[in-house]
Amino acid sequence: MSFLDRSFELHFNERPYLNHFSYLFITKTTRERSRSRSNFSILCRGNIIPKEVRDKDAVSRFLESVDQFERILNDSVFIRLERLTTDEIVGTPQQAGLIEKYFSLSQQDTTTLKDIQMSASKMRIGDNTLCVHTLSDVDDLPGSVQTDTRYEKYSTDRSDCRLSFAAPVGLMLSCDHIYNQFLFIDDSAEILQRFEKTARNMHSLSKYSRANQLNKQWIDAYLDEAHSFGLTAIRCHCNVMAWSDNREKLKVIKNDTGSALALMGCKPRYNTIDAPALYWAGIPGGEGDFPSEESFFTFIEQGVCFFTEETNYADSLSPFGIKMADRTNGKPLHLDISDEPMRRGITTNRNKLVIGPSGSGKSFFMNHLVRQYWEQGTHIILIDIGNSYKGLCDLIHQRTNGEDGVYYTYSEKRPIAFNPFFTEDKVFDLEKKESIKTLIMSLWKRDTEVITRAEEVALSMAVNLFLEKIKEDNELVPSFNTFYEFVQGEFRGILEEKHYREKDFDLTNFLNVLAPYYRGGEYDYLLNSDEQLDLLNKRFVVFEIDEIKEHKILFPVVTVIIMEAFINKMRRLHGVRKMIVVEEAWKAIAREGMADYIKFLYKTVRKYFGEAVVVTQELDDIVSSPIIKDTIINNADCKILLDQRKYINKFDSVQSLLGLTDKEKGQILSINQSNDPARKYKEV
């Protein structure tokens, strides 16, 4: 384990977090049993399963309905249900089941059986004392319910962060707890008939009490709603069971639970009398013995509003990925943003676009990303402006004892230098030859000058003959100096033999133009590096071009070298993951005629198990640059955005450009809105 990996593990060591599990129990019971009250529980019965439920035909019809229900929910895409096996419910001698976990109030600590103490004032399981808050009366409910609500902490005046109505008693309640939602689907027609009868009685007694008048009005409103819209009448109940082994902490938990219910607009009701009955009714499969007096009548649409819709972020199943942390509680996560989305059909390529203004943590995130990619065997080439990766490159260089971590930059003491003619295996494929010819051509001809067909053929012949000579002569040192001497000597004779005229290929002009790059010239260091370094086998290479981005001579040469290095990796490293990261340097590259290269990268790198990443600070760059707008956005399926509050007033144009939904817009603008002051972190 590396130093940074070990530091990451220590950072999260023993950090508490809230782990969320969600279970759906579908229980069949009888009409009489569903009407039982709290004075007669499952503990008083000789048989747990009613005799009526043992009918094979009834069971078959029930299981068919359950299968249909499961299929409908899974087909909706929003929810995925996984059927529990018998062993997962009741357990095995080696592993605890769901029922045992429920009696232990723990998902892990199930090795020891715990005493259960029940009384009117207190219920205790082991060392843990329960506190139960219930929603069992219409008077305790808010005036209206909805599927989702605006969460103010993460919202802005231009965006909404939407959470489920019951989110305060879900992940937002930071203590050990169980949130139970009971929906009892009885005979809807029978319920409505009973309400009709009650309404008539209330009408008869309305002269004696104004309360009877009001109750009749409420019942009439309920019946009108049911008949007008064809709604199904059901009974509903919700409760929150929280616990602690510390008396003082339990008081805090009790207050927090009450506050969470108050955030939903509900009246917190602390229940002590029915706590044991409610606990037994929550046993997996024991919901048929729920005390009926604790439920209230409503409709299915309103009842499901009390369901929690949020859960923890899930780890990616892929072995490849990066380490991140959960937003709410800082739980470490393993995320695959390259391979898994492609396997699931979410994306069609691995390319990425990273957008983050200054101070948003963009450089830190990118160092975090490329470091983990490198540790998993990825070949990485970075084009940087500003020395953002110098520290990481030095760390890799030290860790590999100089075998990896190559940092190219320009300084007066050590100017940038390459040797485009060197390969460790002396293999010069088509791409390598073309890159050398492109390099020499860019040094020879200006952008305004046109190269003739004869000149192109002559240059190609010179390069090919020189490369053949390198393969044959082991004593020949490949460099631009030896190439220049070859053209000056042997190649001159070859041109004479082939009767090349001066107007076809002006050799004197060619040598004069390239003389500054030959021994003794102004730029003789540039293409004659003594470090015989083959970038093909180097997995972490950084090109720092800040000093030369405006240089008319050096910059085109460097860009061609970068292009050749990555294309060489693409073509020759089969089955090896590759990544090229272009930081703010893309502006300089695009300006110097490298736009076609960026387009080529983004469109073809997917076929070679690679990914191209462009990093930018300003959102205006996206809109104003045709390179970004037309090529990168269309071919980068993964967009990584950091804090965008700086651009909140002009985010609409970016939203339409990136094709973001209103929900995604709200999520992006909620970044860093309500960070925990106790932890130093940036959201992405």
Give pLDDT tens digits for 571-587.
788 889 999 998 875 56
Residues 155-187 have pLDDT tens digits of 888 888 899 999 999 989 989 999 999 999 888
For residue 418, what pLDDT is reported? 80
For residue 168, what pLDDT is reported? 94
For residue 198, what pLDDT is reported? 81
Mean pLDDT, the chain, rounded, equals: 85
Beta strands 177-184 and 162-164 are unpaired
Of 533, 593, 526, nearest to 563 by C-alpha is: 593
State how far the Cα of 238 lies from the Cα of 133, in Å rounded to an integer: 9
Residues 106-160 have pLDDT tens digits of 888 787 788 988 887 789 999 999 999 999 988 899 988 999 999 988 888 888 8
For residue 221, what pLDDT is reported? 84
For residue 47, what pLDDT is reported? 67
Of 434, 456, 467, 461, nearest to 571 by C-alpha is: 434
Residues 354-365 have pLDDT tens digits of 988 888 889 999
Residue 430 confidence (pLDDT) above 80: no
For residue 479, what pLDDT is reported? 87
The SS3 call for residue 24 is coil
Residue 434 confidence (pLDDT) above 90: no
Q: Among 23-37, 46-60, 386-400, name the most confident range.
A: 386-400
Half-sphere exposure of 507 (CA within 13 A, CB side): 18
**209-215 contact pairs (CB < 8 A, 24+):** none
Residue 272 vs residue 534, higher pLDDT: 272
The answer to whether the pTM exceeds 0.85 is no
Contact, 218 vs 229, CB < 8 A?
no
Residue 290 confidence (pLDDT) above 80: yes
For residue 338, what pLDDT is reported? 93
Q: Among 40-44, 89-93, 616-620, name the most confident range.
A: 89-93
Q: Of 332-341, 585-594, 671-680, where does mean pLDDT reach its minimum?
A: 585-594
Residues 450-479 have pLDDT tens digits of 788 888 888 889 999 998 888 888 888 888
Residue 36 vs residue 195, higher pLDDT: 195
Residue with tokens 């133009």: 513
